[in-house]
Amino acid sequence: MAATAAEGVAATALRAVLGRAGMAAERSGRAAEAVRVVAVGKTKPVSMLRQLYDAGHRCFSENYVQEFVTKAPQLPQDTRWHFIGHLQSNKVKPLLAAVPNLDMVEGVDNEKIANHLDRAVNSLGRQPLKVLVQVNTSGEESKSGIDPSKCVDLAKHVKLACPHLIFSGLMTIGMKDYSSTPENFKALVNCKLEVCKALDIPTEQFELSMGMSGDFEQAIEMGSTNVRIGSTIFGPREYPNKRQN
């Protein structure tokens, strides 16, 4: 009974998040549809994700490969999955093989991982994979992501040297307390402008993934096209034991 109640709460919370995201998009002069809300199911049971799927939501993400490959086959094939965060090279092929409907990897932070993804997509014979380059905008050593000064070079590598990847934009993970300062978001916007200019990409065709539960409205107002929402939809995360990527 408690699980069913929690799932109902999640669907209600999702509707509220979608409404808030839509209003933030309109405040930034865009349509509500211009912003994608990715439901982050980390540590939550598939039944809760299924509740959102049944309510019409299709975009979900996970952070841990082991959890991802277990959950993804349990949702229908039209689910659009994102992988968020640092991906280890040896986990690339198992992830892509297990999740044929993986829509995007948010977290390419070096050429090596881009090359691994490119080769895996090719060898599995799947459609080109959308990727975002992860930028460390906060300067925290604990965060994955490339230094902003190097984002153009990595974006160029993905776009020009990885034919089986689709370079789609940039992402950043905010501060530890999930409330980024505007400076973090401004830094990613500046990176976007540099990359668009260097690679001759129209700014309106460029994804910016920034904003989580504590700061997604501000992120949208500053140009985010993709927000990653976990605890505001699903409640606090549950860690029964320390998981490995």
pLDDT digits (tens, 9 = 90+) for 177-230: 545 578 889 999 999 999 999 999 999 999 999 999 989 999 999 999 999 999
Q: Mean per-residue pLDDT for 61-71?
A: 96
pTM for this structure? Answer: 0.92
Report percent pLDDT > 90 for the chain. 83
72-106 confidence digits (pLDDT tens): 999 999 999 999 988 999 999 999 999 999 999 99
CA dihedral 110, 208, 190, 211 (to 10 degrees): -100
Mean pLDDT of the residues in the chain: 92
Mean pLDDT score, 38-51: 95
Residue 226 CB contacts under 8 Å (≥ 6 apart), including other chains = 35, 36, 38, 106, 132, 169, 171, 207, 208, 209, 210
Kindly list the structural domains of the chain, giving each domain's residue range(s) and its CATH number in brackets, ordered by start.
9-229 (3.20.20.10)
Pair of tokens at residue 112? 């090596």
